[in-house]
Amino acid sequence: MPKPHSDDQSGMNRICVYCGSLPGNRAEYTEAAHAFGTLLAQRGIGLVYGGGNIGLMGTVATAALAAGGEVIGVIPSALMEKELGLRDCTELRVVGSMHERKQMMVDLSDGFVALPGGIGTYEELFETLTWQQLAFHDKPVGVLNVAGFYDHLLAFLQQATSAQFLRPEHCDSLLVESDGATLLERLSAWKPLRLGKWWTRPDAEAR
């Protein structure tokens, strides 16, 4: 099936969504995943995700498919063997490892959004943000902060910034919104940072 045309004029043809393989304990999480998958399809933006048929992963994918969107799942063969793959995807790519999965998801996508999830979601979010910081890619990264789910994590990033382990510009490059449409607008408008990763040494500043 050909990739749908995106109405977004800034090149956001596909968005990668990181989210939980569990639904969580609040209805808002599932509702937000369903709404975001539907929104992507309505905007003509393809969904790239981890290929699962359970939890928020399954919800966002089935919602996008139901709304006529393109959905590309990327799943390791070990998880596919456990019947965790969503076979109804527009395209389901089976890879050999988690490393291959993450690299392919980045390569296929023009931007990244984390919905609520567990350790795997955070790992994917931070790896993608690290790659952006190191200029291994120049794509926007955002968080859909459903019902304040990420409030404590965002506070921790502010702490890391205050402690000078994270530059303020890099902290601010993580786009955070509670509304999916607003987050998509910010992803579309984002411009790559032209900064180095490391703090300038005081002796260098003096020169």
Packing angle, helices 27-42 and 55-66, rounded to 10 = 30
Q: How far is the C-alpha of 83 from the C-alpha of 92, rounded, in Å?
A: 13
pLDDT at 64: 97
Q: Residue-wise over 80-102: b if at least 16 C-beta within 10 A, else e?
A: beeebbbeebbebbbbeebeebb
Copy the structure tokens of residue 175.
């786009």
The whole model's pTM is what? 0.88
Three-class secondary structure assignment of 32-61: HHHHHHHHHHHCCCEEEECCECCHHHHHHH
Q: Give the model confidence (pLDDT) of 78-112 as tens digits.
A: 988 787 888 999 999 999 999 999 999 999 999 99
pLDDT at 192: 86
Closest CA to 129 of 97, 69, 172: 172
CATH 3.40.50.2300 fits 14-205, yes or no: no
